[in-house]
Amino acid sequence: MDLTYTPEEEDFRARLREWLRGVLPSLPPKPSPDDWPGRRTYDLGWQRMLYDAGYGDVHWGSSPTLRLIFLEETEKAGAPYVGANFVGLLHAGPTIAAEGTEEQRARWLPPILRGEQVWCQGFSEPDAGSDLAALRTRAWRDGDDYVVSGSKIWTSHAEVADWCELLVRTDPDAPKHRGISWLAMPMDTPGITVRPLRTLAGSAEFAEVFLDEVRVPVANRVGDENDGWRVTMVTLSFERGTAFVGEVVACRRVLVELAREARKNGRWDDPVLRRRLGRLNAEFRALWRLTQWNVSEAEASGGVPGVGGSVFKLRYSHARQDLYDTAADVLGPDALDLDRPWVLDRLSSLSYTIAAGTSQIQHTIVAERILGLPRGR
């Protein structure tokens, strides 16, 4: 493990900082959180700027260390995050880059990198979340197409997506992990109905997606037929690897803001609160080191993040909830006012121990794959 940066990496950091300083003041104002078409335009526009400046493929085209530096510096500078490009840049893109054919890479990766297309993730189903391999959305071969019927749920950004990375069951008779295929589905295909779901925090960031005899060309399958589970594991390791780097930087900034607010409103006199802030500070520093460790491990293993991402995801999601619960303590009665800073973040932090694999599932992964404990039944 090597946690130091080379002169080339420090040079990359310096050039990026300089570019961000010049370009960020020219960005248009951020659209409101519920304006999804506006957010799509904004997020794609930012990706286009990154692409034009040579940073478009940093999420999977460069080394894990450069990716870490990129995410750290963009967050520190207050640059936009990937937003609606989350699936394209952090899930589907890296998966296609690793598992797609030459033709598929040439077809799908450039539009993602140029900020032209939004992707969504059609994995979960009403009865297949933690037990994702239980998914039942069915795909039959009919000539050069699959005919897909079933339903997906919690599909983030489905309403504004052009493409969906879709898991389907292509062999219902095979053991459940062996009958799944990974398809790229255009979201404007006839037979797709998107029904938005409203969250506790009031936003409609995900949706149910109903599929009624949707025709998807066989050429849109990534990986072999019935080998989709292995392809999916590549996707999920990216999701749990470096996807939250920018957020750790942001959480460390929130901690400083909380301490300032507590000093202003008198809560700083409470030694219990001060202790909580101190403990959280140590926790996020440790999470940052863990991130660097994971990146260093990924670097050593050819760029693909390993199961260390599960340790990070587990610890981070709880630390994030703790952070915003502490924010509520700092705010006092104002913690009920949705217009105050941190209040919506507190509500959305509840989803962190569910999304991208629940904490219970991460515990199982850590127990079985890192600690080598016997497999559960």
Ligand X SMILES: Cc1cc2nc3c(=O)[nH]c(=O)nc-3n(C[C@H](O)[C@H](O)[C@H](O)COP(=O)(O)OP(=O)(O)OC[C@H]3O[C@@H](n4cnc5c(N)ncnc54)[C@H](O)[C@@H]3O)c2cc1C
Binding site for ligand X (CB under 6 A): 121-124, 129-130, 154-156, 206, 351, 354-355, 357-358, 360-361, 364
CB of 148 to ligand X, least distance (A): 15
CB of 283 to ligand X, least distance (A): 22
- CB nearer ligand X, residue 130 or residue 265: 130
Q: 160 and 191 in contact (C-beta within 8 Å)? A: no
3-state secondary structure of 29: coil
Taking the CB of residue 109, how many other CB atoms lie within 10 A of it?
21
> Which of 239, 247, 257, 299 is the catalytic position?
239
* DSSP code of residue 31: P
CB of 358 to ligand X, least distance (A): 3
- CB nearer ligand X, residue 68 or residue 139: 139
- CB nearer ligand X, residue 104 or residue 364: 364
Q: 250 and 319 in contact (C-beta within 8 Å)? A: no
The phi and psi torsions of 161 (rounded to 5 degrees) equal: -90, 145
Taking the CB of residue 314, how many other CB atoms lie within 10 A of it?
21
Concerning whether 18 is annotated as a catalytic residue, the answer is no
Question: Which residues, 6+ apart, have CB-to-CB distance to 21 below 8 Å?
Answer: 77
Do β-strands 206-217 and 192-197 pair in parallel, antiparallel, or remain unpaired?
antiparallel
Closest residue by beta carbon to ligand X: 129
- CB nearer ligand X, residue 277 or residue 361: 361
In terms of DSSP H, where are the helices of the chain?
A: 7-23, 36-52, 64-76, 86-87, 93-99, 102-113, 228-241, 245-265, 271-300, 308-331, 343-349, 359-365
Taking the CB of residue 195, how many other CB atoms lie within 10 A of it?
14
- CB nearer ligand X, residue 164 or residue 330: 164
CB of 290 to ligand X, least distance (A): 22
CB of 365 to ligand X, least distance (A): 11
Q: Which two tokens stand for residue 234?
A: 């590549």
The helix (run of H) or strand (run of E) holding residue 142 is strand 138-142
Among all residues, which ones are annotated catalytic?
Answer: 239
